[in-house]
Amino acid sequence: MTQLRPEYAWSPVGWSSEFPTDDPAHAEVWCYADRFSYHRGDQVRLHGSTTAETFDIEVVRDGARPRTVLLLEGVPGKHASTAPDCYATGCGWPVLATIDVDASWSSGFYLVLVRTTRADGTVFEREHFFVVKPDADGPKKPLALVLSTSTMMAYNDWGGANQYRGIGDDPRNDIGAPVVSARRPIARGMLRKPPGAPRESNSFTPPPFWQPRYEAYEWARYNGYSRHHADAFWATYERPFVVWAEEAGYELDYLTQHDLDADPDVLAGHRCVILVGHDEYWSWRMRDAVDRLVDSGGNVARFGGNFFWQVRITDDGGTQICYRDPAADPVTETADAHLVTTAWDYPPIGRPAAETMGLTGSSGVYARYGNAAPRSSGGFTVYRPNHWAFDGTDLYYGDVIGAAPVTIAAFELDSVEYTFRQGQPYPTFVDGAPENLEIIAMCPAVLAEEDRWSGTMPLGSGGASESQGLRELTGRTGDPADPSWQYGSGMMATFTRNGGTVFNAGTTEWVNGLVAGDFFTEKITRNALDRLGG
């Protein structure tokens, strides 16, 4: 039987992305802000299009105790046409309202809810967001949460496409858009969704001869949410962390990755930057900002995973470029070849991912996603119980933290190449790992799911051909007939440089432990924040 490439589970034929209607009989309203972040005293220009005569705007500071800070009712509507390639060029809609960022609004994440009532009495409601940054010349809180806006842009499929899919009709070869726009609405579910919506990680342990399912995609399709709702951003990742942190008494300033790209000194004055969830995409200047903080004695507390791709941000933050294939990127043969938008571990770039974060997505990446290590523990096995991150936990060598059903070591994870000596893991340093990197806990992971159904079963990560391509891209070749080259790991690790410290939990799903109230996850999180933010 001929081996076929499996279809992508998240890309069945007939599942379209949200796109606005031109029919005035179907009242709806959509919006986006002109930027992702503002200072107090700035003005948000809210661009939009609606088929309703009027609509309402509600601005909510989100978190443990959501609070409405502004309500505008009966805002006059205006309809504008939308180009079919708005995912790349932007919507180009007019400004329907302006919002003054009040001096009383603290740094935080603000939802912008737009709604209109239809003739049948039902309410159509969608949302956007903006971040209020700390005052440019004012005092800074020690802890700064940086929101993963670049990864959100890569997965946002509103308008028809993102950097994974939408160009082409073959579910075995779905093509992403290399250029995507910030000037469009955000896919439904990335900013708000009901409590308990499925995640990409599997908290259950499957029986023998099980066939993989993807509950996050099933739920999204049947409930009218984006297939990528659980892949990125606020509702899935940063919000659960913020809810926990606020309830635990931590005060945060808020920034976005785009702020780091615009100003590599934006972290000055903060003691520790916090990264949460899925921060897969970074620009060169974003990394510069983090490296500059660490080299000046600041710290990083990363409760995230899958540090992988370089992007370029252009058009004053409005456009993101990522070709993935270096041969397709026009800068490859220019003086800016180091900015080629592909994996950070692509050797010609000369800036391995692990140099900044200690770990890299190219040595992972999947666990408990589909049939990727589906019966692994779902937690991290402890190898250095005396490390400061484990202070006050009563953990022993070989203990497992956050195992299923809590499931913190799942979906996408980071690691480095390593070896074992006397029962403990050590980096081999072939991939840019810092010379004093300490691997404190580990779990198994694989580069892609294993196709045992000859291409007839949809998978979430493309199968062996995709993982082989990633290995070759990052300079790690292997015999396709030998499955061992697909194997990797997830890691928790720390390193120091020039007085700064980086703590890396190495997993997208760390927040699962905070949501579940898992003692070990909470205590390790507190240890990192208290030590690095103090």
The residue extents of the domains of the chain are 149-533
Confidence category of residue 97, pLDDT binned at 50, 70, 90: very high
- Taking the CB of residue 252, how many other CB atoms lie within 10 A of it? 23
C-alpha to C-alpha distance for 278 and 155, rounded to whole angstroms: 11
DSSP 346: -
User: 461 or 435: which carries more pLDDT confidence?
Assistant: 435
275 contact partners, CB below 8 Å, separation of at least 6: 146, 148, 300, 301, 302, 303, 304
User: 168 or 507: which carries more pLDDT confidence?
Assistant: 507
Q: Which of 264, 305, 275, 337 is nearest to 445 (CA)?
A: 305
Cα–Cα separations (whole angstroms), residue 359 to 138, 256, 305, 310: 34, 21, 9, 15
Q: What is this structure's pTM?
A: 0.95
- pLDDT above 90 covers a percentage of the chain that reads 86
Find residue 446's DSSP bridge partners.
366, 487
Lowest mean pLDDT: which of 36-45, 127-136, 466-475, 515-524? 466-475
Confidence category of residue 268, pLDDT binned at 50, 70, 90: very high
Q: Which of 386, 404, 377 is nearest to 518 (CA)?
A: 404
Give residue 2's pLDDT: 44
Confidence category of residue 180, pLDDT binned at 50, 70, 90: very high
Q: Which of 271, 268, 261, 260 is nearest to 301 (CA)?
A: 271
Q: Which structure tokens are listed for 449?
A: 């799911």
DSSP for 384-417 reads: -TTSGGGTTS---TT-EES-TTT--S-EEB-B--
Task: Answer yes or no: is pLDDT of 394 > 80.
Answer: yes
CB 124 within 8 A of CB 50: no
Distance of CA 404 to the CA centre of its chain: 22
- Report phi then psi at 429, rounded to 5: 70, 20
Which contiguous run of DSSP H or E holds residue 527? helix 519-533
Which contiguous run of DSSP H or E holds residue 115? strand 108-117
- Taking the CB of residue 22, how many other CB atoms lie within 10 A of it? 11
Give residue 9's pLDDT: 73
Q: Which of 370, 423, 435 is nearest to 397 (CA)?
A: 423
C-alpha to C-alpha distance for 296 and 95, rounded to whole angstroms: 41
Confidence category of residue 3, pLDDT binned at 50, 70, 90: very low
Task: Give me the helix-helix angle, 238-247 and 519-533, nearest 10°.
Answer: 80
C-alpha to C-alpha distance for 372 and 420, rounded to whole angstroms: 23
- pLDDT above 70 covers a percentage of the chain that reads 95
CB 383 within 8 A of CB 492: no
Give residue 469's pLDDT: 73
The average confidence (pLDDT) of the chain is 94
Q: Which of 254, 297, 301 is nearest to 497 (CA)?
A: 297
C-alpha to C-alpha distance for 123 and 125, rounded to whole angstroms: 6
Task: Answer yes or no: is pLDDT of 451 > 90.
Answer: no
C-alpha to C-alpha distance for 46 and 469, rounded to whole angstroms: 41
CB 499 within 8 A of CB 298: no
Reported in sequence order, the residue ranges of 4-52 that DSSP labels E, i.e. its strands, are: 29-33, 37-38, 43-50
N-terminal to C-terminal alpha carbon distance within the chain: 61
Asked if the bond preceding 132 is cis, omega within 30° of 0, the reply is no
- Taking the CB of residue 136, how many other CB atoms lie within 10 A of it? 11
Tokens 């790349």, residue located? 88
Give residue 450's pLDDT: 86
- Summarised one tens digit per residue, pLDDT across range 51-94 is 999 999 999 999 999 999 999 999 999 999 999 999 999 999 99
Residue 414 burial (C-beta neighbours within 10 Å; 0-12, 13-18, 19+): buried
SS3 category, 86? helix
Average pLDDT score over residue span 127-153: 98
C-alpha to C-alpha distance for 156 and 190, rounded to whole angstroms: 8
